[in-house]
Structure 1
């Protein structure tokens, strides 16, 4: 997806970004790198996007971003996960999300998880 396409896809949503310091070798300013993000469509308390750069998997960023989204929604939210994404589905289940609906769209089968 292009940057413009992503911008359109999250229009009207709240967005939180996790950044990490990207240290350059030698002297110079610290650069910040986006390591992950979460976006929420607040009117329906729907977590639309959760992404963590694979280079930062296993550090708790996904959990922290999801916790931030839940805090913003008052602890209740839903999201969809591609049914083929077993790693993603397991991630949500381990964090207390429960499958509440199954469906199909042009991209394939999905599972709605709710809290």
Structure 2
């Protein structure tokens, strides 16, 4: 399944990721993660962190000019959006919103996600899109909030 979006990014393509996409997905993940959580030591930002995080999940990507610029990982048995990362160079252009909308269109029922509270930009992004807080907890990265839509 593929969507061509014409609103904010006229040449944006969204599709399910395949194994050949994983290195580019890891690069986007690391760039966005480094921006969102800059306090980790440099050795924390390694591609293996991405590969470990996607086990059992389905990945979707947004491409522009044939290049992966955003990645979303979802665990369908629980309708759980595990991660959404957009290349920092193109953030704020509606790409993450469109990738998330594509995933939500495939969901059967309510979706949830967790977001580190320290990532205030992401929490604000989800709330702006109508996600609401339904819980909170603590992880090794600090407190998080559970959101539902």
Q: Same fold (TM over 0.5)?
A: yes
TM value normalised by structure 1 = 0.85
Q: Secondary structure at the match of 2:59?
A: strand
Bigger proportion of residues as helix: 2
Match of residue 10 from structure 1: 54
Bigger proportion of residues as strand: 1
Q: Secondary structure at the match of 2:48?
A: helix
Larger CA Rg, structure 1 vs 2: 1
Q: Secondary structure at the match of 1:109?
A: strand
Q: Secondary structure at the match of 2:93?
A: coil
Alignment RMSD (CA, Å): 1.2
**Pairs aligned (count):** 105
Residues of 2 paired with 1:64 and 1:75: CA distance? 19
Q: Which of 106, 122, 125 lines up with 1:91 in the alignment? A: 125
TM value normalised by structure 2 = 0.66
Maintained 8 Å contact 2:79/2:108 = no
- Shift in CA distance, 47/55, structure 1 to aligned 2, threshold 3 Å: same
